[in-house]
Every structure is written in C-alpha cells, then in structure tokens.
Amino acid sequence: MNPIRSLPRRPARSAGLLSQVIILSVLGACVAPNVVVVDQKTALERQAAGDYPALQNELEQAGMAPAPEAFTREELAPGRERQGRGALGELAELYAHGESDAEVIDRLLLQKCIGEATSGLLVARPTDCIGAADAAELVRVIGRENLHRRQIWQQLASERNADVERARKQWRELHLEQVVCGGLVESRADDWGEKAC
C-alpha cells in the first residue's frame, strides 16, 4: 500500500506542500550533503590579490641577515679626499675609527669589566668594573671571543690527537703572555689580580 494514496484529500495547496516534504525526507535519507565553510582565502585567491607569503618570508629573512656593507675602494676613495664630507666619507671615517674585538677586549680588561679566567675564557666582572661599560657590547664580545677560543681548543686537540683540556691549558699559557699589562687575570680559583709586566 502506498502511503501517499492513503492520506486524506486536502486542498491542492496543502497537497503540494506535503509532497515536497515527503520528497525531501526521502532524499534526505539517501543523500548526505557536505557543507564546507571556508573562512580563509585559497592560495590562488591570495596570489591573485598580490599576496605571496613564501616570497615575503624569504625577503624578510634576507633583510634581517647580518652582512657587511659592500663598498669598493673606488667608492671610499673620493670620500677620504673630501675628509668626511658626504655619506661615504662619513662611513669611511667611522670604519677608520672603529675598534676591533681585540682592542675592545684590551680596553675592558684594563677597566676590569672582564677578566681572563683560569678556564681560559673571558668572564664578566661587574663588581670590579671601573668606569662605564656598554652591557650589550660586553655580552657580545665575551660571547664571540669565548666561542672562538673553544673552537681553537677543539682544533688544536684534533690536530695533535690530544684531549681538549690539555690543548686548553697549553693555549692559556701562551695566551697569558699576550694579555695586556694591567689586565684582570685569575691566577687561582677566585684570586683575581692585574697582570704584571
């Protein structure tokens, strides 16, 4: 028996609505609709709008990577002749008066802001520091110099088939001869004093 025929007759308007409800309920049981809500633009839509995140990220990373200024001798030479006039002349002047790491270390050793420890590394000595010292410069110089020293010890140890501790001790003995006179040096554990020449 067909369920549609057994229903009582209603006006034409109601019958049309009822048949639509029955058809939708039958179809709803057979077909499950997949609804996808997209809250972001697709990659193609972003590219069409001029947004290229991968390229922009590469550009940002390249802009943040530290690198030296690329000046040729020809670019700097006219600046020297003008004796500091112009942008390149000022840069040449700054480069000429800049301190190397070795000069900064000697200055900080004499100020007693850093010291040569028995471990062979540089250590900060804020309680002994005489005068003002830039904390950022202090951290940068100590970090870079200590990294270089550890690399030297490892290289020496691998070349001589020795352990790193032995290479460090031998390196420190030779290095102490080159430390600036009056620089802060640790002779024994926590025994600091000026290097005598």
Residue pLDDT, tens place only, 62-111: 766 666 777 777 766 665 555 545 555 666 666 666 677 888 899 899 99
- Give the integer Cα–Cα distance in Å for 92 and 71: 10
CB 185 within 8 A of CB 115: yes
pLDDT at 25 over 60: no
Q: Does any domain span residue 124? A: yes
Domain count, the chain: 1
Tens digits of residue pLDDT in 58-73: 777 776 666 677 777 7
Per-residue pLDDT, averaged over 31-47, amounts to 71
Q: Does any domain span residue 96? A: no
Q: Does any domain span residue 150? A: yes
Q: What is the pLDDT of residue 84?
A: 45
Q: Does any domain span residue 74? A: no
- Give the integer Cα–Cα distance in Å for 140 and 56: 30
- Whole-model pTM? 0.51
pLDDT at 121 over 70: yes
- Residue 88's contacts (CB-CB under 8 Å, 6 or more residues apart) are 71, 75, 76, 78, 79
Q: Does any domain span residue 107? A: yes
Tens digits of residue pLDDT in 123-148: 998 888 888 888 888 888 999 999 99
Question: Whole-number mean pLDDT of the chain?
Answer: 76
CA 25 to chain centre: 61
Q: Which 8-state DSSP code applies to residue 115?
A: E
